[in-house]
Amino acid sequence: MKPLYIGLVTAVVSCSTMAKPVDWTPGFNGDISLMAAYTRTNSQFDSGNATTENLYSSGNDQSHILAAPLGTLAYTLDSAKQQFFFGTDSSDVALGRFHTEVGYRQKLENNGTVSLSYIPGLLDLKTWKNPYLTGTSREKTGSNVKAFRAQWENIGDSMYSLDTAYGRYDVDQERSGEGSNIDTHLLDRNAKLFFIEGSHLLPLSRSQMIRTALNYSNIDADGKAMAADIYGGSASFIQLFPQSSLILTLSYKKALFDAENPIFDKKQEDDRFGAFLAYEYKQPFGWKDWGVVSLVGYNTTQSNINFYDADTMLVSLGMNYRF
């Protein structure tokens, strides 16, 4: 099954927000960024691979250059302990995750911070109506993820955190397997999603720390061949310098699908590896509240069904302004 989570499109990173609690200032605050990115992938689901001649290999290499603005906006109440927010959490993007959410967070006395938010699916992701067509151009359709999310960061000042989400992935016009002599209902990608992750932040020194995490995802797809359990883990090394910071994140996921894919006559199993290096340089040229931000990422999926094999590389660079 192709990604049900919004993939990396561009990147903004504030490594220091992962490393230590941030004091909130009453009133409005936030950041805005303008990023340029280069991506290269051989995924069968890339928009450049509109036509494929066979279903037993990954797609042709495709490259894209894009530019996009990103930002966050928050309003903190006078107590400086309650905050409403909208946008993309920079610490999420530093870990190689990207989505837009709106929500509320509150600091608890000596017990961390809790957040409740909604991911409204504002970004329309393009996919193929029928990915399994060969020798003719595949038609695009829209898809999106909508979800509710709950987080509890630094539980009991222990440096342990919990992140959960429940939602739905919808394909506007699902036509997988249409025209084939198979049960196409098995290939329906529309799905309920559940995600949970536990993490721990371990300080090594005043400027170095390691974040480790274990996570589990359940894709309860309408088509049983698209339903899966995904088990994963990640480790991030965080380094703070006087004027800059970086995070190196390595991740692995094992995806086990529920039923045999009728196109390939086997159950899909994926091994997914990722590496992301996020960097920020603060106050370039002495510009207060500005920063240079960058992300280099590589993600690979190795599947027992070659059609789902994919290698993706991303390099981005941009400017970030905080207010």
DSSP conformational letter for 187: G
Q: Which two tokens stand for residue 33?
A: 């960024």
Structure tokens at 126: 């393009």
CA distances from 85 to 28, 30, 179, 320 (A): 10, 9, 46, 18
Task: Give me the sign of the Cα torsion angle 285, 33, 11, 37.
Answer: negative
- Assigned token pair, 286: 């002495």
pLDDT tens series, the chain, 323 aa:
333 333 333 333 344 445 445 678 999 999 888 889 999 999 999 999 999 999 999 999 999 998 878 788 999 999 999 999 998 765 555 444 567 899 999 999 889 999 999 999 887 789 999 999 999 999 999 998 999 999 999 999 999 999 999 999 999 999 999 988 999 999 999 999 999 999 999 999 999 999 999 999 999 999 999 999 999 999 999 999 999 999 999 999 999 999 999 999 999 999 999 999 999 999 999 999 999 999 899 999 999 999 999 999 999 999 999 99
Residues of 242-262 as b/e, b for ≥16 C-beta within 10 angstroms? eebbbbebebebebebbeebb
Pairwise CA distance, residues 62 & 38, whole Å = 11
Query: What pLDDT sits at residue 66?
Result: 87
What is the model's pTM? 0.90
Q: Could you tell me the residue ranges of all domains in the chain?
A: 16-322
- CA 267 – CA 215 distance, rounded (Å): 22
54: amino acid identity, one letter: N
Please list, in sequence order, all residues whose beta carbon lies within 8 angstroms of the beta carbon of residue 252, skipping any fewer than 6 positions away: 232, 233, 234, 271, 272, 273, 274
- Nearest Cα to Cα of residue 280 among 112, 26, 31, 25: 31
The number of residues in the chain equals 323
Q: In this predicted structure, what is the pLDDT of residue 97?
A: 53
Domain 16-322: give its CATH code: 2.40.160
What is the gyration radius of the CA atoms in the chain, in angstroms?
20
- CB atoms under 10 Å from CB of 277, counted, come to 17
Q: Rounded to an integer, what distance in angstroms lies between the CA atom of residue 174 and that of residue 188?
A: 7
How far apart (Å, rounded) are the C-alpha atoms in residues 201 and 156? 13
CA-wise closest residue to 195 among 169, 157, 223: 169
